[in-house]
C-alpha cells in the first residue's frame, strides 16, 4: 500500500509582464522630468538676505555670462530687447517683469535693461537667490 504520492508543488513566477511595466515607468519618468525643468538658461543668481515671491507668472528677462539676452527663454538681440519686451507686455504695463542675470554680469548691463524698463514705464526687480548662510 502506497500512502504517499509523488506530487511536488512547483512555484513559477511569470516575468513577461515586468518588462512592459518597467518600460512604461521609464517612459513616464522621462516625460515628467522634462516637464519639471522650468529654468533652461543656466544662471548663477546673486545672493540676498531677503526675497519676495511673485504670485503670478512673470515675464523673465535673463542675461547669461556670455551676455546673451533672453525674454521668456527666447534669445533676443540687445538692440531688439525693448521692442520684444513691449510686444510681450502688450497693453498690460502692470504685468510682473523679473530680471534674472548671472552674478558675473557687470552692473552696466543691468542698468541698460533697467533703462529699457523705465522707457516702457515698467518696474523690473532683480531676481536673487536667498542667502542661507545666516
Domain ranges, ordered by start, for the chain: 47-130
Q: Is residue 90 classed as helix, strand or coil in its secondary structure?
A: coil
pTM of the model: 0.58
Please state, in angstroms and rounded to a whole number, the distance separating the CA atoms of residues 100 and 106.
13
Question: How many C-beta atoms lie closer than 10 Å to residue 84's C-beta?
Answer: 18
Please state, in angstroms and rounded to a whole number, the distance separating the CA atoms of residues 107 and 111.
6
For residue 6, what pLDDT is reported? 66
For residue 125, what pLDDT is reported? 83
The CATH number given to 47-130 is 3.30.420.270
Which of the four pLDDT bands, split at 50, 70 and 90, describes residue 53?
A: low
Which of the four pLDDT bands, split at 50, 70 and 90, describes residue 92?
A: confident
Which of the four pLDDT bands, split at 50, 70 and 90, describes residue 106?
A: confident
Amino acid at each position: 500500500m502506497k500512502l504517499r504520492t509523488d506530487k511536488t508543488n512547483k512555484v513559477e513566477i511569470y516575468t513577461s509582464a515586468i518588462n512592459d511595466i518597467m518600460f512604461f515607468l521609464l517612459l513616464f519618468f522621462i516625460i515628467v522630468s522634462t516637464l519639471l525643468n522650468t529654468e533652461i538658461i543656466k544662471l548663477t543668481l546673486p545672493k540676498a538676505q531677503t526675497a519676495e515671491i511673485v504670485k503670478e507668472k512673470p515675464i523673465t528677462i535673463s542675461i547669461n555670462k556670455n551676455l546673451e539676452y533672453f525674454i521668456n527663454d527666447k534669445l533676443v538681440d540687445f538692440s531688439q530687447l525693448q521692442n520684444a519686451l513691449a510686444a510681450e507686455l502688450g497693453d498690460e504695463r502692470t504685468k510682473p517683469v523679473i530680471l534674472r542675470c548671472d552674478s558675473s554680469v557687470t552692473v552696466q548691463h543691468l542698468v541698460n535693461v533697467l533703462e529699457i524698463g523705465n522707457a516702457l514705464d515698467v518696474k523690473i526687480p532683480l531676481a536673487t537667490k536667498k542667502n542661507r548662510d545666516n
